[in-house]
Amino acid sequence: MKMCGASKRFLPDLKSECLKCTSIRRVFGQGRFQGEVILQEQLSPRTRQLQACCCRMELLDKTINSYLDVWLGPRDPRVKGWLLLENYTPTFIFSVLYLLIVWLGPKYMRNKQPFSCRGILVVYNLGLTLLSLYMFHELVTGVWEGGYNFFCQDTHSGGEADMKIIRVLWWYYFSKLIEFMDTFFFILRKNNHQITVLHVYHHATMLNIWWFVMNWVPCGHSYFGATLNSFIHVLMYSYYGLSAVPAMRPYLWWKKYITQGQLTQFVLTIFQTSCGVVWPCAFPQGWLYFQIFYMISLIILFTNFYIQTYNKKASSRRKEYQNGSTATVNGYTNSFSSLENNVKQRKQRKD
């Protein structure tokens, strides 16, 4: 299918030039450009293609927005015009591209050597650790300043604190786009066993869910899950950042407890969300029921992951220990060294 009728030689320029489509359409629609009268028939084929492309994109965005507004009601005007929030199309496209990379990436890397990415991983995880710490701090202080009610908090009674929460939650939404890099690093390092159904489901859905949250309920009762998740991510990304440094690996003992913390986070979020159902306020009830359903789905998937990763691994380690085959460092299984040995063996086989 051709994109807006454009030929392939125009594709590299379409993205940048389509950004100007609104002004191009308005100017040429009036028939004037720099004081000269120009008829539509006198426009170059490329300009007409750009006009058609941009008009179709605008029509698509307006159609989607009209359906969403009818289905979910009017949006919160406080986020009107914010980056990536005006239309759902960019968020949806990012999600589709993510899923395509998840599908095609391992195939592309199948016959290639894994990348180390050690230095990039340290910087990346440190950046997300600091961002998560910032969001956690701002959310806690915003909730305190706004006098938020734990049991139910609407979206318009917090005053200036509501705007503080909204600004921070936009960063929380945007961080879900950044976190797509988690999966991309797994692909580049050929850690395909870490690209689980849980991992892909969690990453792909969170960006989309938070686009809707930011447009309709960007503060109030929405704060709780994001606050807990930001705290858990401080622990998680600091762990991943330190694990990229070989000298630190023997001392990293809290990975198991990160998963336990995530499960605790989901349970607490269900409890706090249920409070809004039992003792309702002006916060829309439909969002509360959806969050409860989504948290239950994560509990099921994370519990399965926990059992598969730790309980079965513990039993297999006991068997290996009886056979004297487990390598340990400071009392902890050195899975990192075994991974490095596997990489070295692959290199030797290739040579």
> What share of the chain has pLDDT > 70, as a percent?
76
What pLDDT shows up at residue 325? Answer: 39
CA distance 89 to 61: 7
Among residues 19, 18, 41, 38, the alpha carbon closest in space to that of 28 is found at 38
Query: Of residues 327 and 275, which shows the higher confidence score?
Result: 275
Query: What's at 306, amino acid-wise?
Result: Y
Q: Taking a C-beta distance cutoff of 8 angstroms, is the pair 196, 264 a contact? A: no
When pLDDT is cut at 50, 70 and 90, the band that residue 338 belongs to is very low
Name the active-site residue from 193, 202, 203, 233.
Answer: 202
Taking only the tens place, the pLDDT of each residue in 133-159 is: 999 999 999 999 999 999 999 999 999
Average pLDDT score over the chain: 82
198 Cβ partners below 8 Å, 6+ apart?
A: 301, 302, 304, 305
Query: What's at 267, amino acid-wise?
Result: V
Taking only the tens place, the pLDDT of each residue in 213-237 is: 999 999 999 999 999 999 999 999 9
CA distance 150 to 281: 11
Coil, strand or helix at 153: coil
pTM of the predicted model as reported, rounded to 2 decimal places: 0.77
Active site residue 221: no
Report residue 63 as tokens.
């159609």
Q: Taking a C-beta distance cutoff of 8 angstroms, is the pair 280, 152 a contact? A: yes
Report residue 334 as tokens.
């050195």
Report residue 40 as tokens.
């539509």
287 Cβ partners below 8 Å, 6+ apart?
A: 213, 216, 217, 221, 222
Q: Taking a C-beta distance cutoff of 8 angstroms, is the pair 265, 305 a contact? A: no
Among residues 41, 88, 316, 55, the alpha carbon closest in space to that of 209 is found at 88
CA distance 92 to 212: 11
Neighbours of 165 (CB within 10 A): 29
CA distance 328 to 216: 51
Taking only the tens place, the pLDDT of each residue in 5-40 is: 433 333 334 444 444 444 444 444 444 444 444 445
Please report the sign of the dihedral spanned by the C-alpha atoms of residue 190, residue 191, residue 196, residue 198.
Answer: negative
280 Cβ partners below 8 Å, 6+ apart?
A: 152
CA distance 292 to 274: 7
320 Cβ partners below 8 Å, 6+ apart?
A: 326
Taking only the tens place, the pLDDT of each residue in 308-320 is: 877 766 665 555 5
180 Cβ partners below 8 Å, 6+ apart?
A: 94, 98, 203, 207
Mean pLDDT of 108-129: 95
Report residue 351 as tokens.
């040579």
What pLDDT shows up at residue 311? Answer: 72
Query: What's at 63, amino acid-wise?
Result: T
Q: How far apart are the first and last CA of the chain?
A: 44
Taking only the tens place, the pLDDT of each residue in 118-128 is: 999 999 999 99
When pLDDT is cut at 50, 70 and 90, the band that residue 95 belongs to is very high
